[in-house]
């Protein structure tokens, strides 16, 4: 009797692996194919805005769009870590502002070099994450309360660090290079070629090893199709970017963090335990996993990425001021992964959701600005999109529960 | 008849005014299924948790493969080779079968600390092997556990307990809330554990299932051993009598084995 042989599978489980159109539709609606759903949503948003204003899909505006989403995307990567364990971090906006302020003050007022100043900025985020994670696990306080207190505290700390002037200009600093460096055609095409080659080699290499070992793997045509799609996307993106200012360093930074964190959560023991804690903390505890340790690390990663996002935001704005990390940044960073399929209830999601969700939010904001809509309308539309995304998440979850899948 | 693989002697456990276990003797041999039955509150769970190290007994001793051993916590029980599958199964529904089987003891390729790379191919192969040996029928080892039926989940939980190569497996109500087909799957799995020469202790309320799969039936009543019966030589009425205390515990009925 062979496991995986459909003929011997219990009847009540038949269809779990089926790929009939109806089954694909069901998975699509229930969130298993959330990424595809979001990509279609992005395409729709872009088409709608481009019909309204033909400059929307111009190279210059798309380059702007990518630069605009960098900070939110980076912060959202960290938010994914805490969402996966079923928690939330409301302090990411404030932490991003504080970390950027620490970096800016060290760099501008105390003459520290760019690299050490950035390192201390990120370390500030990590230390805050450690503190909040320990408070959460030691005293069993709900994470939203701990981080809500953090939000206020770190906003206060931001004002304190900035001092009386309230603004630190970065215009003469190397830090601004992060968001304002663009690579020309030669470098960007080399990057593109490398990215496609590495992706193809890793995908096909893993596929061959799995085939040789006789374990489950995706159908070869599907993998080939995926490689072709990735190659086309990369080539088109680089071509568009090159027709404007070139390949932005900020975009490379964002992609590097997305890919790095995605590998961390899907390919390592830590990632496996992160999902286990989010799925069933008691089961994880009984399996010998240090549940509290995983939780603290998730909060440290979250606040560290908030710091990285804050530093990129400062680099783009050329300054850190009292409103850094404020306004919609927090909401957008939490909403982004949720819009793109990372569950608020823990245990389900991917780092790509941070990038895709940030693109959705960024596209809507960018498009509405191009159309010069009233602020009132912009707020309400953004709110409606968030609500719709959370409803999709809740519906997907209740459907899974109806099928006995939590 | 082989020697017992695990024997517990004179186990007593008190919770405040309640004497949950009162001088209980229990033995299980390799390659036998011992059913543990009793009314609610008879002390079945306390007995299992004492053997699995979650509770520390007030008095009594354990012999494992003839040697006297202390069971001071879940870790020592696991080290000895005593695995327990609790009723709530403790599975992560959001992870696939392979991930659940190896949770907390993942195979890795290399790396440091928690950032070791998972060896998915090796884990998947070993999952296949294990589930094939046990004739567990699931659609795929990459199915999310949340998509499996209750019987399949129970089988995955049992398979998971076997990864540490235990000698005694305790199952807490493995057929509770399962349908007819699924119950049969789980009972078949229990028989295969016996074929692997494991000592199997099964808690169950369902006497029909107990008689179907057990070699001996251990009746617990009010924290005491109310009798141990050879399943093949006993009727359901006798066991019910022992559970409820309706029949006296006579020397003829009880087999001191």
- Write the DSSP string, A293-325: HHHHHHHHHHHHHHHHHHHHHHHHHTEEETTTT
Cβ atoms < 10 Å from Cβ of A113: 11
Task: For residues B144 and B217, give the distance between their C-alpha atoms in angstroms, rounded to a whole number.
Answer: 36
- Bigger pLDDT: B209 or A21? B209
- Bigger pLDDT: A14 or A189? A189
pLDDT (0 to 100) of residue A118: 96
pLDDT (0 to 100) of residue A387: 85
Task: For residues B50 and B52, give the distance between their C-alpha atoms in angstroms, rounded to a whole number.
Answer: 5
Residues 6+ apart with CB under 8 A from B114: A268, A269, A270, A273, A297
- Mean pLDDT for all residues in chain B: 88
* Distance (Å) from the alpha carbon of B218 to chain A's nearest alpha carbon: 28
Q: What is the mean pLDDT of residues A162-179?
A: 88
Residue B73 has pLDDT above 50, yes or no: yes
- Mean pLDDT for all residues in chain A: 88
pLDDT (0 to 100) of residue A21: 60
With contact defined as beta carbons under 8 Å apart, do B228 and B217 qualify? yes
pLDDT (0 to 100) of residue B117: 93
Q: What is the mean pLDDT of residues A305-325?
A: 94
Q: What is the ipTM of this complex?
A: 0.85
Determine contact: B146 vs chain A, CB below 8 A.
yes
pLDDT (0 to 100) of residue B110: 81
- Bigger pLDDT: A266 or B248? A266
Q: Which of B104, B115, B143 has the CB atom closest to A288's CB atom?
A: B104
Beta-strand ranges (E) seen in B70-208 are 82-85, 108-112, 115-118, 168-172, 199-203
Q: What is the mean pLDDT of residues B10-14?
A: 93
Task: For residues A172 and A153, give the distance between their C-alpha atoms in angstroms, rounded to a whole number.
Answer: 30
pLDDT tens profile B135-151: 888 889 999 999 898 88
- Angstrom CA distances, A93 to A133, A306, B3, stand at 17, 7, 66
Q: Do A10 and B117 touch (CB under 8 A)?
A: no
- Of B84, B95, B151, B83, the C-alpha closest to B127 is B95
Kindly report the pTM of this predicted structure: 0.87
pLDDT (0 to 100) of residue A5: 38
DSSP letter at A267 equals H
User: Of A34-43, A102-111, B103-112, which gets the smallest average pLDDT?
Assistant: A34-43
Contacts of B182 in chain A (CB under 8 A): 10
Read off φ and ψ for residue A57, nearest 5 degrees.
Answer: -95, 20
- Angstrom CA distances, A383 to A357, A372, B66, stand at 14, 18, 69
Interface of B with A in 147-186 (CB under 8 A): 147-149, 151-152, 181-182, 185
With contact defined as beta carbons under 8 Å apart, do B219 and B245 qualify? no
Q: Which of A2, A215, A406 has the CB atom closest to B146's CB atom?
A: A406
- Of A100, A60, A404, A97, the C-alpha closest to A244 is A60
Residue B1 has pLDDT above 60, yes or no: no
Q: Do B93 and A284 touch (CB under 8 A)?
A: no
With contact defined as beta carbons under 8 Å apart, do A351 and A70 qualify? no
Angle at A302 between CA A297 and CA A303, to 5 degrees: 100
- Residue of chain A whose Cα is closest to the Cα of B54: A286
Q: What residue has token string 């020592």?
A: B76
Q: Do A269 and B142 touch (CB under 8 A)?
A: no
Residue A76 has pLDDT above 60, yes or no: yes
Task: For residues A26 and A207, give the distance between their C-alpha atoms in angstroms, rounded to a whole number.
Answer: 27
pLDDT (0 to 100) of residue A369: 92
Residue A30 has pLDDT above 80, yes or no: no
Pure H helices in A53-168: 59-84, 92-104, 114-139, 143-162
User: Of A91-105, A377-391, B118-132, B189-203, which gets the smallest average pLDDT?
Assistant: A377-391
Q: What residue has token string 């011997």?
A: A8
Angle at A202 between CA A201 and CA A204, to 5 degrees: 65
Residue A357 has pLDDT above 90, yes or no: yes
Most confident of the following: A1-5, A300-304, B165-169? A300-304
pLDDT (0 to 100) of residue A25: 57
Q: Do B128 and A4 touch (CB under 8 A)?
A: yes
Buried b (16+ CB within 10 A) or exposed e, A10-34: bebbebbbeeeeeeeebbeebbbbb
- Bigger pLDDT: A343 or B114? A343
Beta-strand ranges (E) seen in chain B are 4-15, 18-29, 32-37, 59-64, 67-69, 82-85, 108-112, 115-118, 168-172, 199-203, 216-221, 224-230
Task: For residues A3 and B144, give the distance between their C-alpha atoms in angstroms, rounded to a whole number.
Answer: 15
Task: For residues B169 and B82, give the distance between their C-alpha atoms in angstroms, rounded to a whole number.
Answer: 6
Six token digits for residue B68: 């006297």
Q: What is the mean pLDDT of residues A302-322?
A: 95
Task: For residues B225 and B217, give the distance between their C-alpha atoms in angstroms, rounded to a whole number.
Answer: 11
Q: How confident is the model at residue B257 (pLDDT cuts 50, 70, 90)?
A: very low
pLDDT (0 to 100) of residue B70: 87
Contacts of A276 in chain B (CB under 8 A): 92, 95, 99, 103
Task: For residues A274 and A294, give the distance between their C-alpha atoms in angstroms, rounded to a whole number.
Answer: 6
- Residue of chain B whose Cα is closest to the Cα of A261: B115
Give bridge partners of residue B168 from the DSSP assignment. Answer: B82, B199
Task: For residues A355 and A374, give the distance between their C-alpha atoms in angstroms, rounded to a whole number.
Answer: 27
Q: Do B137 and A10 touch (CB under 8 A)?
A: yes
- Bigger pLDDT: A165 or A8? A165
Share of chain B above pLDDT 90, in %: 54
- Of A136, A86, A138, the C-alpha closest to A300 is A136
pLDDT (0 to 100) of residue A403: 63
The alpha carbon of residue A87 and the mean position of all alpha carbons in its chain are separated, in whole angstroms, by 16
To test the contact with chain B by mutation, choose from A5, A13, A14, A300 the residue with the greatest count of B C-beta atoms within 10 A, namely A13
User: Of A17-26, A55-64, A65-74, A387-396, which gets the smallest average pLDDT?
Assistant: A17-26
To test the contact with chain B by mutation, choose from A10, A261, A297, A342 the residue with the greatest count of B C-beta atoms within 10 A, namely A10
């Amino acid at each position: 009797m062979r496991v995986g042989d459909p003929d011997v599978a219990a009847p009540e489980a038949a269809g779990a692996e089926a790929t009939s159109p109806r089954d694909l539709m069901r998975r699509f609606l229930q969130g298993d194919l959330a990424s595809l759903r979001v990509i279609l949503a992005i395409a729709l948003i872009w088409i709608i805005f481009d019909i309204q204003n033909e400059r929307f899909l111009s190279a210059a505006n798309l380059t702007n769009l990518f630069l605009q989403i960098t900070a939110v995307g980076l912060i959202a990567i960290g938010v994914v870590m805490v969402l996966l364990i079923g928690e939330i971090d409301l302090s990411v906006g404030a932490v991003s502002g504080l970390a950027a302020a620490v970096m800016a003050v060290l760099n501008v007022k105390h003459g520290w070099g760019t690299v050490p100043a950035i390192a201390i900025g990120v370390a500030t985020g990590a230390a805050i994450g450690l503190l909040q994670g320990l408070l959460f696990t030691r005293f069993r306080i709900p994470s939203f309360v701990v981080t809500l207190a953090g939000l206020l505290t770190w906003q206060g700390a931001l004002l304190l660090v900035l001092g009386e002037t309230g603004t630190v200009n970065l215009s003469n600093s190397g830090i601004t290079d992060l968001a304002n460096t663009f690579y020309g055609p030669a470098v960007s095409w080399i990057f593109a070629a490398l990215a496609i080659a590495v992706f193809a080699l890793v995908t096909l290499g893993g596929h061959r090893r799995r085939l040789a070992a006789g374990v489950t793997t995706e159908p070869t045509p599907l993998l080939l199709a995926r490689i072709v799609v990735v190659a086309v996307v990369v080539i088109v993106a680089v071509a568009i970017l090159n027709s404007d200012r070139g390949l932005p360093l900020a975009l490379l930074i964002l992609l590097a963090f997305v890919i790095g964190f995605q590998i961390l959560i899907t390919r390592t023991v830590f990632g496996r335990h992160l999902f286990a804690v989010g799925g069933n903390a008691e089961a994880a505890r009984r399996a010998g996993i240090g549940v509290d340790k995983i939780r603290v690390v998730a909060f440290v990663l979250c606040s560290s990425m908030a710091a990285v996002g804050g530093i990129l935001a400062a680099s783009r704005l050329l300054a850190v001021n009292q409103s850094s990390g404020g306004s919609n940044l927090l909401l957008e960073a939490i909403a982004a992964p949720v819009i793109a399929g990372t569950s608020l209830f823990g245990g389900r999601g991917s780092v790509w959701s941070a990038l895709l969700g940030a693109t959705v939010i960024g596209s809507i904001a960018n498009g509405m600005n191009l159309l010069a809509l009233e602020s009132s309308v912009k707020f309400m539309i953004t709110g409606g999109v968030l609500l719709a995304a959370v409803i999709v998440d809740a519906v997907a979850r209740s459907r899974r529960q109806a099928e006995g899948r939590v | 008849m082989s020697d017992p693989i695990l024997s517990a002697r004179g186990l007593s456990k008190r919770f405040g005014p309640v004497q949950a276990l009162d001088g209980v003797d229990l033995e299980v041999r390799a390659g036998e299924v011992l059913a543990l039955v009793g009314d609610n509150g008879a002390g079945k769970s306390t007995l299992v948790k004492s053997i699995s190290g979650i509770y520390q007994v007030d008095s009594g001793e354990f012999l494992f493969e003839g040697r006297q051993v202390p069971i001071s916590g879940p870790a020592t029980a696991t080290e000895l080779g005593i695995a327990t599958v609790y009723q709530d199964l403790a599975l992560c529904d959001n992870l696939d079968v392979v991930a659940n089987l190896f949770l907390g003891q993942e195979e890795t390729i290399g790396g440091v600390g928690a950032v070791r790379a998972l060896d998915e191919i090796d884990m998947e192969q070993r999952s296949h092997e294990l589930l094939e040996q046990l004739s567990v029928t699931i659609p795929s080892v990459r199915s999310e556990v949340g998509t499996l039926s209750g019987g399949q989940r129970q089988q995955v939980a049992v398979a998971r307990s076997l990864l540490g190569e235990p000698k005694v497996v305790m199952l807490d109500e493995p057929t509770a809330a399962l349908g007819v087909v699924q119950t049969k799957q789980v009972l078949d799995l229990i028989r295969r554990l016996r074929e692997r020469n494991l000592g199997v202790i099964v808690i169950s309320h369902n006497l029909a299932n107990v008689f179907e799969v057990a070699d001996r039936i251990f009746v617990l009543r009010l924290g005491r051993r109310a009798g141990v019966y050879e399943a093949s030589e006993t009727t359901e009425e006798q066991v019910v009598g022992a559970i409820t205390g309706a029949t006296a515990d006579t020397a003829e009925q009880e087999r001191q084995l």
